[in-house]
Amino acid sequence: MKTRNTVLTGLAIAIFALVLWLADKNLGGYAMRILNLSAIYVVLSLSLNLVNGFTGLFSLGCAGFMAVGAYVSALLTMSPEVKEMNFFLEPLAPWLARLTLPFALALVAGGFCAALAGLVVGIPVLRLKDDYLAIATLGFSEIIRVVITNLQGLTNGAQGLKNIPKFSTTWTVWGVAALVVAFMALLTRSSYGRQLKAVRDDEIAAEAMGVNVFRVKVTSFTISSFLAGVGGALLGHMITTIDPKMFSFMLTFNILLIVVLGGNGSITGSVIASILVTVLMEALRFLDEPLNLFFFKTNGLPGLRMVVFSAMLMAVVILRQRGLMGDQELTWSGFEKAGLLPRSKKGASK
Amino acid sequence: MMLETKGATMRFGGLTAVSELNLCVEHGEIVGLIGPNGAGKTTAFNMITGVYEPTEGKVIFTGKDITGKKAHSITEAGIARTFQNIRLFSTMSVLENVLVGCAVREKPTWFNSVVRTPAYRKHDRESHKFAMELLSETGLAELAGERATSLPYGKQRRLEISRALASRPKLLLLDEPAAGMNPQESIELMEFIRRVRDRFDLTILLIEHHMQVVMGICSRMYVLDYGVTIAHGTPDEIRRDPKVIEAYLGVE
Amino acid sequence: MDLATFLQQLANAASLGSLYSLIAIGYTMVYGILRLINFAHGDIFMLGAYFAFYLIASVALPWWVAFLVAIAITSLFGIALERIAYRPLRDSPRISLMISAIGASFLIENLGVVIFGGRPKSFASIPLFDTVVRMGSVQVLSVSLFIPVITILLLVVLLFVVNRTKTGMAMRAVSTDVEAARLMAIDVNKVISYTFGIGSALAAIGGILWTMKYPQLNPLMGIMPGLKCFIAAVIGGIGNISGAVLGGFLLGFIEIMVAAFLPALTGYRDAFSFILLILVLLLKPSGLLGKKQTVKV
């Protein structure tokens, strides 16, 4: 049974890689950009799902940690000349101005700095619960943003950073996304993953069963911040400009939309919803442009797209709270039960 | 001496929920804690298991002072409990609930969980084996894959006990294990508790309202009323104690 | 800094604090009853201002009629919001309710962008509010003096309603225990509708006064005041009306005074309230006037 599933998983990965390769060869830059953006959203939504869906901590701090990752990775990879061009109001701190690291290292550094921020924020804030936690994490995310705006000599303030090297290629972003999916699948199905879920289901019982609840929360929050930092860094290296405004609550909202739509506590749900939402966001772009509906013409209505998305989120929450997948996963044995795979002799084990 | 509380007192603002509690529980005993509603029994449990820190007094477990320790480290030290209103992990299966209990001895970290280190695999195999053993012992083996909260009430109680046993405790605290059971089920439960004690070499402290159950299995018992210990002794002594009769029936 | 500037800042702080209080009351009332952070409350504040704007600019109503009508419409809007977005989720986990509130907030904001247009609009000047009042060397806009007075009047009325009327008693009952209130034959839905109605009306008044003082409307104007007023409500002790007012004034004063006396920190202005929030949450989570809650095991 296990061997069959491993083979099937390997096969699926190979097919997906082939599709990516074909897409990369044949699709235009615009289409690839959307596809790659989906991969970044996979990373980000899994980061939020880890705290929100698996550990039951309602955090709204995503954007702040993304900002940390994006800035760190951008500043570590930009060449001294580009830095000089960016920092025309106030020069960049000299030790950083000359430093240029390889992308992989910078990406990890971005993740670690975000994780560190997560740890520092998490230790005080995770004593809070539910909506208090949500509002406090939102608060910290805003504080991070305000600090970035004001640290002119380190972040270039409100002007943001331009000409960040475009390192987020198809293979990089999907490679990272695949790693993160694998990480989450292994984590949530492990003994530690059960501790996360125990904390989510009943904190008091978890503590009574010997789970160090606070520590588990801080760990989950820190890992999630790491992933958010990596996602933010990838985003920066994709669109090549970042500024503090980009990392507002709006961004967290988009990611929350994906997590809720896919199903809180479902990895496959988040993956599917990431791709779905990113593609839909682009497909619905026409809504913001002038419409010609035979009988009546509208001038461009910027914002209509976001109206549709907000309405969608509400519809999902009100009508189908569990999202696409609930807290279930798409698994090979699930396909088997649905009759999409030939039945094995002994029934599915895992 | 398995457990000893020395003058353990719990105050909430002006209210003294438990005052000067002096419990002694010897290894292998089944001891009852009884008293009318609001007498402070669950508060006493909460002090012992670290949910609350006693305002005054001490809790000594196997000779070590555990007063004010965190609940999870007390579980690690060897005290496990169940709850008055069942608190199972609702999204998890029966087996997973028990595995969470096993994890105290595994001490998993996120890293060895993700990397599946050899040590992790070994612990994981052992835990699965032990969890299944426990479930067969408690008659829940066939239901291992079911969602915990889909079980009938009585089986949920058994599952909660199995989960507590999974942490390999020396002392087990049961908070009204027979609540909501009919007489037949209560008798089965008594049998079950005795069997579990013998099988796992446990000491048990239990809160119970069903007099039939308490009198049937406890070797000794303590009676609380308004937080004060008004009597303790063997079931026969308690049955005849005028203060206990007064507390339960009121004065004529 | 001389005395005149200080007094001027004091007047500014008092009016900003009053505006924060008006909005914070709505948060606190809704939280008291539904245990929900009504994320859309800031957007209701924005709608109140826009309704008044359009009633004056397009329908050409006299300004005071327009204000009253706008307040009424906003109030109904708040009630409708609860029916559509929150009532179906009343028995769901609180996270779902809150996500719905966030969704509603974004929906209203983006509808605002689509319908009202993203470009800022401004009110025609209303002489009564727009006169410069001189007291010695202190100069303030008349609206800055009206705002605290109106706020205090409204607070007195509100406290009377909550503490002395049957509706108020029902509100307090529902916020203490919904189930018990229902058993006592209190129409819980009606009480919740009233709460949203009153809270939204106060937000509308706040929104209108806000645009009198800071005369610019845009569809996203509710976000920051919304967040800050929620913070004010938490600082004061959420669920407690006087606490919301206290928190509102405190926040208004701190913001204005820090900006006035420590100009170097002005860039961090929007962070103050969040820092204050986190400090309060960590040191006294129940807020300055709130009651402590314990979890029963």
Which residues in chain A are contacts of B164 at CB distance < 8 A? 209
Q: Which of A51, A180, A189, A192 to mutate to test the interface with B (most CBs of B within 10 A)?
A: A192
How far away is chain C from the Cα of B15, in angstroms, using its nearest Cα? 14
- pLDDT surpassing 50 at residue A350: no
Question: Which among A58, A139, A306 has the least Cβ separation from residue C278?
Answer: A139
User: Domains in chain C, please, with CATH?
Assistant: 3-283 (1.10.3470)
For residue C214, give the nearest of C7, C9, C13, C16 by alpha carbon: C16
Among A101-110, C198-207, C222-231, C262-271, the range scoring the smallest mean pLDDT is C262-271
- Provide, rounded to the nearest whole percent, the portion of chain A with pLDDT above 90: 48
How far away is chain C from the Cα of B235, in angstroms, using its nearest Cα? 28
How far away is chain B from the Cα of A141, in angstroms, using its nearest Cα? 25
How far away is chain A from the Cα of B108, in angstroms, using its nearest Cα? 6
Question: Which among A183, A187, A209 has the least Cβ separation from residue B100?
Answer: A209
- pLDDT surpassing 70 at residue A347: no
Q: The whole model's pTM is what?
A: 0.89
- pLDDT surpassing 70 at residue A159: yes
Q: Where are the domains of chain A?
A: 32-337
Query: B104 — contact with chain A (CB < 8 Å)?
Result: yes
What's the confidence (pLDDT) of residue C1?
60
> Average pLDDT for residues A224-230, to the nearest whole number?
97
CATH code linked to domain A32-337: 1.10.3470
pLDDT digits (tens, 9 = 90+) for B229-242: 988 899 888 888 88
pLDDT digits (tens, 9 = 90+) for C13-55: 998 999 999 999 988 888 888 888 888 999 999 999 999 988 8
Question: Which among B49, B83, B103 has the least Cβ separation from residue A194?
Answer: B103
Which residues in chain A are contacts of C113 at CB distance < 8 A? 302-303, 306
- pLDDT surpassing 60 at residue A345: no
Per residue, what are the HEC states of chain B?
Answer: CCEEEEEEEEEECCEEEEEEECCEECCCCEEEEECCCCCCHHHHHHHHCCCCCCCEEEEEECCEECCCCCHHHHHHHCEEECCCCCCCCCCCEHHHHHHHHHHHHHCCCHHHHHHCCHHHHHHHHHHHHHHHHHHHHCCCHHHCCCEHHHCCHHHHHHHHHHHHHHCCCCEEEEECCCCCCCHHHHHHHHHHHHHHHHHHCCEEEEECCCHHHHHHHCCEEEEEECCEEEEEECHHHHHHCHHHHHHHHCCC
User: Domains in chain B, please, with CATH?
Assistant: 1-78+169-252 (3.40.50.300), 88-166 (no CATH)
* Chain A residue with the nearest C-alpha to that of C264: A150
What's the confidence (pLDDT) of residue B39?
86
How far away is chain B from the Cα of C101, in angstroms, using its nearest Cα? 25
Cβ pair C278:A124 closer than 8 A: yes
Which residues in chain C are contacts of B83 at CB distance < 8 A? 297
Cβ pair C106:A301 closer than 8 A: no
* Complex ipTM: 0.90
* Chain A residue with the nearest C-alpha to that of C119: A302
Within 157-196 of B, beta carbons closer than 8 Å to C belong to none
- pLDDT surpassing 70 at residue A295: no
> Average pLDDT for residues A43-53, to the nearest whole number?
95
- For residues A254 and A156, give the distance between their C-alpha atoms in angstroms, rounded to a whole number: 26
pLDDT digits (tens, 9 = 90+) for C154-185: 999 998 988 888 888 888 888 888 888 888 88
Cβ pair C281:A136 closer than 8 A: yes
How far away is chain C from the Cα of A258, in angstroms, using its nearest Cα? 12
What's the confidence (pLDDT) of residue C293?
59
Q: How confident is the model at residue A308 (pLDDT cuts 50, 70, 90)?
A: confident
Q: Which of A130, A131, A132 to mutate to test the interface with C (most CBs of C within 10 A)?
A: A131
- For residues B160 and B149, give the distance between their C-alpha atoms in angstroms, rounded to a whole number: 11
- For residues B155 and B178, give the distance between their C-alpha atoms in angstroms, rounded to a whole number: 11
- pLDDT surpassing 90 at residue A178: yes
pLDDT digits (tens, 9 = 90+) for A310-341: 888 788 888 877 777 777 777 777 777 776 66
Query: A53 — contact with chain B (CB < 8 Å)?
Result: no
What's the confidence (pLDDT) of residue C296?
60
How far away is chain B from the Cα of C246, in angstroms, using its nearest Cα? 26
Residues of chain B with pLDDT under 50: 252
- pLDDT surpassing 70 at residue A15: yes
What's the confidence (pLDDT) of residue A174?
93
Cβ pair C278:A132 closer than 8 A: no
* Chain B residue with the nearest C-alpha to that of A194: B100
- Provide, rounded to the nearest whole percent, the portion of chain A with pLDDT above 70: 92
Q: Are strands B30-34 and B220-225 parallel, antiparallel or unpaired?
A: parallel
Question: Across all residues in chain C, what is the average pLDDT?
Answer: 86
- pLDDT surpassing 50 at residue A158: yes
Query: C117 — contact with chain A (CB < 8 Å)?
Result: no
Q: How confident is the model at residue A344 (pLDDT cuts 50, 70, 90)?
A: low
What's the confidence (pLDDT) of residue A93?
82
Q: What is the CA radius of gyration of chain B?
A: 19
Q: Whats the size of chain A, residue-wise?
A: 350
Query: A179 — contact with chain B (CB < 8 Å)?
Result: no
Q: How confident is the model at residue A291 (pLDDT cuts 50, 70, 90)?
A: low
Among A100-109, B50-59, C132-141, the range scoring the smallest mean pLDDT is C132-141
Query: B78 — contact with chain A (CB < 8 Å)?
Result: no
How far away is chain C from the Cα of A121, in angstroms, using its nearest Cα? 10
- For chain B, the chains sharing at least 3 beta-carbon pairs closer than 8 angstroms are A, C
Question: Which among C92, C94, C100 has the least Cβ separation from residue A130?
Answer: C94
Q: How confident is the model at residue A292 (pLDDT cuts 50, 70, 90)?
A: low
Query: B42 — contact with chain C (CB < 8 Å)?
Result: yes
